[in-house]
Amino acid sequence: MAQQPLTTASVPTDIYGGDEVSALVLDAGYCHTRAGFAGEDVPKSVLPSFYGSVAGTRNVFGDECLVPRADLEIKNYMSRAESVVEDWDAATNIWEHMLIKSLQPEREIHPSKNGLNDPDTKAAADGEGDVAMEDAAAAAAVASGEATEDQEKPLAESPLLMTEAPWNSGKAREKAIEIAMENWGTPAFWLTRTPVAAAFAAGKASALVIDVGGANTSVTAVHDGMILKRSIQKSPAGGLWLSSQIRSMWDSCEPKVDVVPTFMVESKVPVDAGAPAQAKLRKFPFDVSPSFRAYEEERLLTEFKESVVEVWKGPGKYTNPGNEELVKSQPGRIFEMPDGANQMWREQRFRVSEGMWDDAAALPTPGADPITKAQTIPELIRACLNNVDVDLRPNLLGNIVVTGGSSLLTGFNDRLNSELSAMYPGMRIKLHAAGLTTERRFGAWIGGSILASLGTFHQMWISKKEYDENGAGIIEKRCK
């Protein structure tokens, strides 16, 4: 009888300190943008931060829109080097698409204003119905003037919590609150930093957050729910960098591996391992833009990373004598390319990820700066810890939160643990890495979701009134 679940009415919500106010949470990263309702454990809407720009006029969002077609350029609204918003127009568009179109219920719009009956916008509805409607609605809103402005604000019911990179600039933060308040009319807004949110997702207020993301790897110390600015360390050694390592490895392979993304393959026949591919490629009546091809190649590389690449567990470096021989004697993994070519990968799959830990082992990548010693993960951690107060260090080492999709590489945590124990021999080191893939990938979003659904958080929100009184500068004062 004890196992009988509590009815919803008797669940003691109070002890968790939760108090839902139907807030929305938006977490923008270089590879993916995540949006959802606060209090849930996974974001409802996850879209790639890459978007399609059709003939330079119209933007399409979401994986289902990123198909080969004429005049489609793939762009990203975030900057690769910084993981902060670069193209604010596109960012506003994609965020609106996610927060308003995907998450809000359909609004009833008077037929005279819903755009369907407008003669001038009818031409735009050419198959991309959703987006056209969106544009049309916007156009209609502009056309109908500001008489109905208050009603048109799409997020007037939901507070919005956004995350940002810890090194985000003040201008970008002001821009974010401006969009949320002016464009969407949220009653309340808050901007939290990704490491803080990731620490919250792991249930910790103080932690050393190691975020191995798509474009960047960062190490940040969080104390009592605030980042320590001096401790922020950032390096490009993330998922995309790993992809470039794989490319470099494929290029130098014997025989050289041809990168043929899935969309190019029409049919294939099975071939033996190592044999050249026998596939029929698709022909397109238009030019596929290089950016689209690069995006598709990146997807292939991601698959390779997920299924083949592994991190040498340690102890010691992978390049230490004997390790490579040991790996060669172990069973490898077979990876089949979209065009049917397949091969067994043994020592190479350890080799590509070694550069994250040991700059000397990084493969040379043409057209990019080689990784420096200070950019390897152990050095990032050391530099981060050296910039915080000595009293905090033991506590931080005992509360290390590992997050980010690239940290899901097999053996990553083992290696991290062995590197740390070698660096800080006398200390107690404890890694906290979520076991679920989603929790690792969406760590910052989940933390934001927890934060925005807390009862004690209500006093933190920047309200519309405060924004109106103080202007966008309030974000610097409040979200420290």
Q: Which stretch binds another protein (CB under 8 A): 46-54, 225-233, 273-281, 399-407?
A: 225-233
Q: With binding defined as CB under 8 A, does residue 428 bind another protein?
A: no
Q: Which stretch binds another protein (CB under 8 A): 62-70, 123-131, 156-164, 274-282?
A: 156-164
Q: Are 250 and 120 in contact (CB under 8 A)?
A: no
The sign of the torsion formed by the CA atoms of 354, 355, 357, 361 equals: positive
Q: With binding defined as CB under 8 A, does residue 316 bind another protein?
A: no
Q: With binding defined as CB under 8 A, does residue 391 bind another protein?
A: yes
Give the shortest CB-180-to-another protein separation in angstroms: 15
Host H or E run for residue 59? strand 58-60
Give the residue with the Cβ less far from another protein, 124 or 219. 219
Which residues lie below 8 Å from residue 479, measured CB to CB, with a gap of 6+?
A: 173, 190, 191, 192, 462
Give the residue with the Cβ less far from another protein, 114 or 421. 421
The 61-90 contact track toward another protein, x by CB under 8 A, reads: ------------------------------
Tell me how far CA of residue 332 lies from CA of 54, 142, 256, 329, in angstroms. Answer: 42, 60, 19, 9
Q: With binding defined as CB under 8 A, does residue 150 bind another protein?
A: yes
239 vs 217: CA distance, rounded Å = 9
Give the shortest CB-95-to-another protein separation in angstroms: 21
User: Token pair 């049917």 is at which residue?
Assistant: 340
The pair of structure tokens assigned to 202 is 């792991």
Q: Which stretch binds another protein (CB under 8 A): 99-107, 168-176, 362-370, 453-461?
A: 453-461
φ and ψ at 137, to 5 degrees?
-65, -40
Give the shortest CB-249-to-another protein separation in angstroms: 36
- Single out the residue of 102, 178, 393, 438 in contact with another protein (rule: CB under 8 A): 393
Q: Are 7 and 55 in contact (CB under 8 A)?
A: no
φ and ψ at 270, to 5 degrees?
-65, 140
198 vs 61: CA distance, rounded Å = 26
Pairing of strands 431-433, 400-403: parallel
Q: Are 205 and 176 in contact (CB under 8 A)?
A: no
- Amino acid identity of residue 272, one-letter, is D
Give the residue with the Cβ less far from another protein, 330 or 459. 459
Q: With binding defined as CB under 8 A, does residue 388 bind another protein?
A: yes
Give the shortest CB-459-to-another protein separation in angstroms: 4
The pair of structure tokens assigned to 436 is 């679920």
How many residues touch another protein under the rule CB under 8 A: the total is 47
If you compute the radius of gyration of the chain from its CA atoms, what whole number of angstroms results? 24
Give the shortest CB-424-to-another protein separation in angstroms: 7
Give the shortest CB-268-to-another protein separation in angstroms: 54
Residues 168-197 that bind another protein (CB under 8 A): 187-188
Give the shortest CB-426-to-another protein separation in angstroms: 4
Q: With binding defined as CB under 8 A, does residue 455 bind another protein?
A: yes
Q: With binding defined as CB under 8 A, does residue 145 bind another protein?
A: no
Q: With binding defined as CB under 8 A, does residue 463 bind another protein?
A: yes
100 vs 107: CA distance, rounded Å = 10
- Single out the residue of 80, 392, 398, 410 in contact with another protein (rule: CB under 8 A): 392
Residue 133 is classified by DSSP as H
- Single out the residue of 231, 245, 343, 403 in contact with another protein (rule: CB under 8 A): 231
Q: With binding defined as CB under 8 A, does residue 144 bind another protein?
A: no
Give the residue with the Cβ less far from another protein, 5 or 56. 5
φ and ψ at 257, to 5 degrees?
-90, 130
Give the residue with the Cβ less far from another protein, 64 or 150. 150
Q: Which residue, among 375, 374, 114, has the nearest Cα to 238 in the 3D structure?
A: 375
Q: With binding defined as CB under 8 A, does residue 157 bind another protein?
A: yes
Q: Are 371 and 230 in contact (CB under 8 A)?
A: no
Give the shortest CB-480-to-another protein separation in angstroms: 7
Residues 204-223 that bind another protein (CB under 8 A): 223
Give the residue with the Cβ less far from another protein, 206 or 319. 206
Q: Are 85 and 26 in contact (CB under 8 A)?
A: no
Give the residue with the Cβ less far from another protein, 40 or 87. 40
Which residues lie below 8 Å from residue 326, measured CB to CB, with a gap of 6+?
A: none
25 C-beta neighbours (distance < 10 Å), count:
34
Give the shortest CB-161-to-another protein separation in angstroms: 13
Residues 2-41 that bind another protein (CB under 8 A): 4, 8-9, 14, 17, 19-22
Q: Which residue, among 257, 201, 211, 251, has the nearest Cα to 231 in the 3D structure?
A: 211
Residues 394-423 that bind another protein (CB under 8 A): 394
Q: Are 211 and 195 in contact (CB under 8 A)?
A: yes
10 C-beta neighbours (distance < 10 Å), count:
8
Residues near another protein (CB under 8 A) are: 1, 4, 8-9, 14, 17, 19-22, 150-151, 153, 156-157, 159, 187-188, 223-224, 226, 228-231, 388-394, 424-427, 454-456, 458-459, 461, 463-466, 480
